[in-house]
Amino acid sequence: MTARIRRLRGVSWEWRRDAPVEGTGREAGVIAQEVQSVFPELVKRLPHGYLGVDYRGLTARIAAAVVELRARFESLEAPAATGELSDAGAKRDLGPVEEALERLRSGEDLKRADQTALVGALIEAVKELDARIAALERERVPDSDREREG
């Protein structure tokens, strides 16, 4: 699942005044064509001809990727905790995301702009976490090679 999420980008845009869809001002989310290439079942052509993303469905896929990454991280962290992923700055940056997720868990509906921004932020967080985990995994390979030699 994580490999599929890495193919997406969290983006932001400014709605055109003449846009045929409901939206004004600055918004964040994902590009429907990119989602369509990875999760075609989550993209539908809307009556006005534009593509629309099922953000609830995409949030579920991203949540599955986070669970996958957490399991990978915990397997790396257990023998030798590095602390790299728990610095204070990273926790501060996740505050708005955690608040939005808590509202979703409680059954509260998010405004469309909040939901799309959440998905965009989560995609970028998945990619960052996956890259950091991959780096930790690469660092551990020499350790396992040395254990076999010893």
- Residue-by-residue pLDDT tens, the chain, 150 positions: 888 999 999 898 888 888 877 777 888 889 999 999 999 999 999 988 889 999 989 988 988 888 888 888 878 766 554 444 343 444 445 566 667 667 777 777 777 777 777 787 788 888 888 888 888 888 876 655 545 544
Q: Give strand pairing partners of 51.
A: 45
Q: Give strand pairing partners of 88.
A: none
What's the count of helices (H) and strands (E) in the chain, helices before strands?
A: 5, 4
Q: What is the pLDDT of residues 67-103, one digit of tens each?
A: 888 888 878 766 554 444 343 444 445 566 667 667 7
C-alpha 40/C-alpha 18 separation (Å) is: 27
C-alpha 81/C-alpha 65 separation (Å) is: 22
CA torsion through residues 141, 87, 128, 42, sign:
positive
CA distances for 73 relative to 10, 80, 92, angstroms: 23, 11, 20
Q: DSSP character for 24?
A: -
pLDDT at 82: 44
pTM: 0.61
pLDDT at 78: 66
pLDDT at 83: 40
Closest CA to 20 of 44, 47, 55: 47
pLDDT at 95: 63
C-alpha 131/C-alpha 2 separation (Å) is: 11
C-alpha 17/C-alpha 37 separation (Å) is: 28
Q: Domain locations in the chain?
A: 2-149
